[in-house]
């Protein structure tokens, strides 16, 4: 099964024919060698026969959410941390507002204005 994205850098699209000379245009990883390495690792671990290989193990929402890049930009990390902290404070503030008196209806999120 061919890869839909590069197993190293997640670049898309990849060449249609992924035989031995095919490489990722972005990082240059040889796709056929990745398949061979996965086959060898699975046959040694006893998880799957050597002739069965999934082309893309890391697809789906969980892989997208849990992906950690090799290099993380410090500015983006701090901005995301600040955004998360701000949303947490805002959420706590909203949870402390009284819904019976209509106080929450006057908040920024529920502005009638």
- Does residue 84 sit in the same domain as residue 58? no
What is the per-residue pLDDT for 51? 44
- Does residue 46 sit in the same domain as residue 96? no
- Does residue 9 sit in the same domain as residue 56? yes
pLDDT means over runs of 10, the chain (113 residues): 76 73 80 80 64 52 80 91 96 86 75 55
- Does residue 52 sit in the same domain as residue 2? yes
What's the CA gap between 11 and 13, in Å, rounded?
6
- Does residue 56 sit in the same domain as residue 1? yes
pTM over the 0.75 mark? no
What is the per-residue pLDDT for 75? 94
Tally of structural domains, the chain: 2
- Does residue 50 sit in the same domain as residue 76? no
- Does residue 84 sit in the same domain as residue 31? no
- Does residue 3 sit in the same domain as residue 39? yes
For residue 16, the enclosing domain spans 1-71
CA atoms lying within 13 Å on the CB side of residue 10: 10
What is the per-residue pLDDT for 34? 82
- Does residue 49 sit in the same domain as residue 76? no
What is the per-residue pLDDT for 59? 64
Neighbours of 34 (CB within 10 A): 18
- Does residue 19 sit in the same domain as residue 62? yes
């Amino acid at each position: 099964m061919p890869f839909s994205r590069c197993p190293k850098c997640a670049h898309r699209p990849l060449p249609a024919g992924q035989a031995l000379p095919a490489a990722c245009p972005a990082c240059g990883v040889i796709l056929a060698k990745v398949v061979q390495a996965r086959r060898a690792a699975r046959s040694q671990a006893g998880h799957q026969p050597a002739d069965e290989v999934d082309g893309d193990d890391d697809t789906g929402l969980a892989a997208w959410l849990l992906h950690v890049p090799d290099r993380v930009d410090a500015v983006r990390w701090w901005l995301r941390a600040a955004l998360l902290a701000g949303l947490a404070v805002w959420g706590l503030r909203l949870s402390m507002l009284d819904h019976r008196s209509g106080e929450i209806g006057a908040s920024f999120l529920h502005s009638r204005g």
